[in-house]
Amino acid sequence: MPESLAETLIEVVVDGTESALAAQTGGAHRVELCSGLAEGGVTPSAGLIAVTRAAITIGLHVMIRPRGGDFVYNDHEFAAMQQDIATAKSLGADGVVFGILTPEGVVDTPRLATLIAHARPLAVTFHRAFDMVADAPYALECLINLGFDRVLTSGLEASALEGAETIAELVRQAGDRIVVMPGGGIHERNIRRVVAATGAREVHLSGRRPVESPMRVRNSRVHLGAALYPPEYTLMQTAAERVRACHTALRYT
């Protein structure tokens, strides 16, 4: 645990440059840039990486995930991940975020070692594929042996608050060998509880709010999303005040 909760590093996951700027304004130390947050995050475009890198001065980590769904990838997807890492590196990212599992829910050590070699000297984070592993303590040791800098996890539960006990156990197991970063459902009303309960030094959150689309002409008969029909005219963006409120919550009881 940091010497005081106020020293906790806050990473904000964003899917656009405006959200990245809001996260920076709110005091985030780093952003994780993704596209498709409704799918849990996939690799953003080269254009989005470049524009966001030019816009912000805080740390920029880029999601490397070729599609939504599980974390077992075929050879074409694995090749795409290697290319995407090279792209993120060339565009000035400070780190990349990825994860690969076997069908048995075990960390795919050989493929991950290849991706890490492609990524260095960038920081490398294993994302919430960790929450799908069959044996969390064993998986953590695998990540440590591979040389990952951090792992993002909700403690194998629906939210980091629900998984706080498991996260605390992982933090103790990790020691100073890897950063265990809670993520999943963290916001200004529970961030202090999560950090205090887990002893984590870093946390991951979105700080988003709905923003109404500027579209004045709207066609309610057409939906461009999947079966659940996500709204075309409401955007979810990071709000600087929500990120700032997380800092305040950590600073004061």
**Looking at residue 45, what DSSP letter applies?**
P
**Higher local confidence (pLDDT), 2 or 222:** 222
Task: Read off the tokens for 228.
Answer: 């659940």
Domains plus CATH for the chain? 5-123+187-212+239-251 (3.20.20.380)
Where are the extended beta strands (E) located within 146-247?
A: 150-153, 179-182, 202-205, 208-212, 234-238
pLDDT in tens, 179-204: 999 999 999 999 999 999 999 999 99
Among residues of the chain, what percentage have pLDDT more than 70? 93
pTM to 2 decimals? 0.93
pLDDT in tens, 199-243: 999 999 999 988 888 888 877 767 666 555 556 667 889 999 999
